[in-house]
Amino acid sequence: MRGAKYTRKMAENPTPDAAPIEQDSARPEDAAVSGEHYDARNRAEELRDQIRYHNNRYYVLDDPEVSDADWDALFHELRALEEAHPEFVTEDSPTQQVGAGPLETFAVVEHRERLLSLGNVFDETGLRDWHRRASELAERDDFAMVTEPKIDGLAMALVYEHGRLVQAATRGDGRRGENVTENIRQIPDVPQRLDRASTPRALPERFEVRGEVYMPKAGFEAMNARIEEGNVALVEAGKKPQRLFANPRNAAAGGVRQKDPQVTASRPLSIAVYQLGWADGPTPETHWETLGWLRALGFPTTPDCERHAGLDATVAACGGWLPRRDTLPMDMDGVVVKIDDFAVQRQLGIVGREPRWAIAYKFPPAEATTRLLKIAINVGRTGRLNPFAMLEPVVVGGATVRMATLHNEEDIHRKDVRVGDTVIVRRAGEVIPQVVGPVLSRRKRGARRFKMPDRCPVSGDPVVRPENEVMAYCSNPVCPAVVRRTVEHFVSRGGMDIDGLGERRVNEFFDEELIEDAGDIYRLADQRDALLALPRMAEKSVDNLLASIKRSKSRPLSALIFGLGVRHVGGENAALLAQHFGSIEALQGASEEEIAAVGGVGPIIAESVASWMATPRNQEIVGKLAQAGVRMSEAGGGAREGPLAGQQFVITGRLESWTRDAAAAALKGLGASVSGAVTKKTAALIAGEGGGGKREKAEKLGTPVWDEAQLVALLELHGAD
């Protein structure tokens, strides 16, 4: 949540078209930069205008132009100016407003008890200072604390009466919010009715639960992809249909503030609850117990909450989150630390809008603005030309970012990103940083529009754009970039899993003409001296590499099919093809129709596989592999054999060190089958991060739920790689 400590006031009577600030070069900030004289009063006025303008883009249009950090800088500057010159403070200044007032479309809800905000600290010293102040006031420092992720979404207050959800309201300005009950009912994990029997504690007649509505990162990516594909139904009325959401937080806010609850229902929204607001009836006496009670009642609480006995453990837990911040399925922008005991909470009380008993330990922002220096092109394994942004280095979320993806030419034009622009860059999850969009107000004259080149930057061959595709491709099937990337894919973990062969090595082997395609990898064993002559290639590295190459010959058929790099064939399809045909030979001999008839394999994949197999150059590669002794068939001609034969597994959630496809391929390599749904037959559910629904089903059926370590142990036990 941006500027968490200071919430914003929207522009008065905002309309989607409101743009209180002109966007030409005569904007006050440019004038200030150019050194023109501005006295403090004028500057404060400019800052107020700019903040209102950006508030409108953020809250009303869900389409921010500047990063949170930039907004914070404007806000801080205004506050400092007003503190130095209290006579300039106006009643309607954003600094005097305590939050975004309700939108006119929804009925106003008076919160029975104010929804509070949180103070921020940014490092260990800040956290220890907060603890010292709290200890002094409480006259004790032995209190336990709870740490929980600070989820970047939209605060929500849910009121339950006799166990039924009767009202859901946004935070608004803390006292008055918007009644969004019907929309919130569309969110599947918001309990509509509570099961009184689920906890021994009596259910208060009426109570309020507070939490954060968010959009999981995966859902956000998928939704943007669907909008990109032209699914206009997903797009809010009154907006340009092709507009992508800037980030999950804005997408969640937009999803909740829909006039039509069905549109909300089409958005992948979730909730995580973190607090009991008020209750008519007895409730637990600590925060930790409250969380457990809420969970028992069926509320999804914030994930990975921890209770710590003292300050050092709390500090360590906060620091420990930073490198893991991307591992959660939702965006988090910090850690909330809360004193566990409600008696201590009551003793400490509230100052302004912030409780003294809780604090937000904020992470460096995941968004920043920087300059787009150049749009360069990378040619992928399928020959696709992928434009990417080369940026003036900027620190985003604690890491320096120099490059970011730009998807395709159409996307660049849709976002209207131009070379020379100041752009918003965002890091989300392990995903490569993205260019969210330009800061139009800072566009300089001469910013250049991008045009995809007519020729491939690697091979120089003409670029083609297949009908109905937004992507451009090199027309040369043996473009050096394509061939090299294909070899990288062949040796990758889900493929032949050859250690020590990264992009640099593969390029070197091509440059030294040691290989021409994937088939030549198995001939490297005869080129020991040439390998030893390469830089950073000691005896041991060569031995390890050759041993890994040798080992890869017995990879399962599914890994080989995946590794060949046939367009559209991922791990799952490779496994289906391997299981059905049982050998490369059978696959080579199959017609397109026969391939399409395999359950789970569609016509597009069938066309792609058949045409790959029919290409003489590919047949040559397969020939080389067969000659080298690479395993070309499923043991037992397609029937499942192996130590796990007859056992069925289901994989869900995000695994830390594998893709789900790779884990499935490894299990299948041992004879197991991997299915998409938990049933009575399932031997075990392997659950990574997230994946709530399947876990619940497994728990209901009494199916064992394994974590990743148990999967690895099983594979190791059976000698899988």
Q: Give catalytic residue positions.
A: 150
Q: Is 359 in the site for ligand IVH (CB under 6 A)?
A: no
The binder of ligand IVH chosen from 155, 339, 487, 685 (CB under 6 A): 155
**Distance, CA of 562 to CA of 569 (rounded, Å):** 6
β-strands 120-121, 358-362 pairing: parallel
Q: Is 478 in the site for ligand IVH (CB under 6 A)?
A: no
User: Which residue, 358 or 678, is less far from ligand IVH as judged by CB?
Assistant: 358
Q: Is 524 in the site for ligand IVH (CB under 6 A)?
A: no
The binder of ligand IVH chosen from 31, 32, 116, 313 (CB under 6 A): 116
Using DSSP, state whether 584 is helix, strand or coil.
helix
Q: Which stretch binds ligand IVH (CB under 6 A): 147-155, 430-438, 474-482, 527-535?
A: 147-155
Q: Is 170 in the site for ligand IVH (CB under 6 A)?
A: no
Closest CA to 404 of 416, 420, 421, 386: 386
Q: What angle do CA 349, 355, 360 make, to 5 degrees?
A: 150
Helices (H), 653-701: 660-669, 692-701
Q: Is 314 in the site for ligand IVH (CB under 6 A)?
A: no
Kindly state the smallest distance separating residue 1's Cβ from ligand IVH, in Å: 5
Backbone dihedral angles phi then psi of residue 284, each to the nearest 5 degrees: -60, 165
CA 340 to mean position of chain CA atoms? 30
User: Which residue, 360 or 375, is less far from ligand IVH as judged by CB?
Assistant: 360
Q: What share of the chain is helix, strand, coil (3-state, %, to 5)?
A: 40, 20, 40
**Distance, CA of 541 to CA of 499 (rounded, Å):** 10
DSSP 8-state secondary structure symbol assigned to residue 67 = -
Q: Which amino acid would we find at residue 615?
A: T
**Distance, CA of 650 to CA of 677 (rounded, Å):** 7
Structure tokens at 655: 């695994």
Q: What angle do CA 110, 353, 134 make, to 5 degrees?
A: 140
User: Which residue, 360 or 389, is less far from ligand IVH as judged by CB?
Assistant: 360
Structure tokens at 361: 């330990």
Q: How many other CB atoms are there within 10 angstroms of residue 461's CB atom? A: 15
User: Which residue, 157 or 625, is less far from ligand IVH as judged by CB?
Assistant: 157
User: Which residue, 358 or 577, is less far from ligand IVH as judged by CB?
Assistant: 358
Q: Is 151 in the site for ligand IVH (CB under 6 A)?
A: yes
Structure tokens at 340: 């566990």
Q: Is 117 in the site for ligand IVH (CB under 6 A)?
A: yes
Give the dihedral of Cα atoms 673, 676, 680, 686; nearest 10 deg.
80
Q: Is 336 in the site for ligand IVH (CB under 6 A)?
A: yes
Residues 6+ apart with CB under 8 A from 400: 393, 394
User: Which residue, 358 or 578, is less far from ligand IVH as judged by CB?
Assistant: 358
Q: Which stretch binds ligand IVH (CB under 6 A): 148-156, 283-291, 419-427, 479-487?
A: 148-156
Closest CA to 67 of 448, 433, 417, 437: 437
Q: Is 275 in the site for ligand IVH (CB under 6 A)?
A: yes
Q: Is 458 in the site for ligand IVH (CB under 6 A)?
A: no
Cβ burial, residue 229 (10 Å; 0-12/13-18/19+): exposed
Q: Is 274 in the site for ligand IVH (CB under 6 A)?
A: yes
Q: Binding mask 595-634 vs ligand IVH (x if CB under 6 A, - otherwise)?
A: ----------------------------------------
C-alpha distance across the termini of the chain, in Å: 43
Kindly state the smallest distance separating residue 666's Cβ from ligand IVH, in Å: 36
Contact, 123 vs 318, CB < 8 A?
A: no
Kindly state the smallest distance separating residue 123's Cβ from ligand IVH, in Å: 18
Q: Which DSSP string corresponds to 350-402?
A: EETTEETTEEEEEPPPSEEEEEEEEEEEEE-TTSBEEEEEEEEEEEETTEEEE
Contact, 212 vs 153, CB < 8 A?
A: yes
Kindly state the smallest distance separating residue 335's Cβ from ligand IVH, in Å: 8
β-strands 154-161, 206-214 pairing: antiparallel
**Distance, CA of 51 to CA of 71 (rounded, Å):** 7
Q: Which of residues 280-309 bind ligand IVH (CB under 6 A)?
A: 302
Q: Is 331 in the site for ligand IVH (CB under 6 A)?
A: no
Q: Which stretch binds ligand IVH (CB under 6 A): 115-123, 250-258, 501-509, 617-625?
A: 115-123
The binder of ligand IVH chosen from 27, 54, 111, 150 (CB under 6 A): 150
Kindly state the smallest distance separating residue 171's Cβ from ligand IVH, in Å: 6
Neighbour-count burial for 513-541, b at 16+ CB within 10 Å, e otherwise: ebbbbbbbbbebeebeeebeeeeebeeee
DSSP 8-state secondary structure symbol assigned to residue 419 = B
Kindly state the smallest distance separating residue 188's Cβ from ligand IVH, in Å: 20
Kindly state the smallest distance separating residue 384's Cβ from ligand IVH, in Å: 39
**Distance, CA of 611 to CA of 490 (rounded, Å):** 19
The binder of ligand IVH chosen from 118, 157, 158, 606 (CB under 6 A): 118
Kindly state the smallest distance separating residue 278's Cβ from ligand IVH, in Å: 13
Q: Binding mask 35-74 vs ligand IVH (x if CB under 6 A, - otherwise)?
A: ----------------------------------------
**Distance, CA of 708 to CA of 721 (rounded, Å):** 15
Backbone dihedral angles phi then psi of residue 556, each to the nearest 5 degrees: -65, 160
Q: Is 360 in the site for ligand IVH (CB under 6 A)?
A: yes
User: Which residue, 187 or 463, is less far from ligand IVH as judged by CB?
Assistant: 187
Q: Binding mask 4-33 vs ligand IVH (x if CB under 6 A, - otherwise)?
A: x-----------------------------
The residue nearest ligand IVH at its CB is 155
Q: Which stretch binds ligand IVH (CB under 6 A): 60-68, 121-129, 251-259, 352-360?
A: 352-360
Helices (H), 257-406: 261-265, 287-296, 311-321, 342-348
Kindly state the smallest distance separating residue 493's Cβ from ligand IVH, in Å: 35
Q: Is 98 in the site for ligand IVH (CB under 6 A)?
A: no
Helix axes 248-256, 217-228, angle to 10 degrees: 80
Q: Which stretch binds ligand IVH (CB under 6 A): 57-65, 353-361, 443-451, 550-558?
A: 353-361
CA 224 to mean position of chain CA atoms? 12
User: Which residue, 51 or 154, is less far from ligand IVH as judged by CB?
Assistant: 154
The binder of ligand IVH chosen from 49, 148, 488, 661 (CB under 6 A): 148
Q: Is 1 in the site for ligand IVH (CB under 6 A)?
A: yes
Structure tokens at 464: 């083609």
Structure tokens at 479: 């473009």
Contact, 515 vs 488, CB < 8 A?
A: no
**Distance, CA of 189 to CA of 395 (rounded, Å):** 35
The binder of ligand IVH chosen from 60, 263, 344, 358 (CB under 6 A): 358
Kindly state the smallest distance separating residue 3's Cβ from ligand IVH, in Å: 9
The binder of ligand IVH chosen from 63, 65, 72, 212 (CB under 6 A): 212
Kindly state the smallest distance separating residue 2's Cβ from ligand IVH, in Å: 10
Kindly state the smallest distance separating residue 354's Cβ from ligand IVH, in Å: 7
CA 155 to mean position of chain CA atoms? 20
User: Which residue, 59 or 509, is less far from ligand IVH as judged by CB?
Assistant: 59
User: Which residue, 290 or 579, is less far from ligand IVH as judged by CB?
Assistant: 290
Kindly state the smallest distance separating residue 274's Cβ from ligand IVH, in Å: 4
The binding site for ligand IVH (CB under 6 A) comprises 1, 4, 116-118, 148, 150-151, 155, 171, 212, 274-275, 302, 336, 355, 358, 360
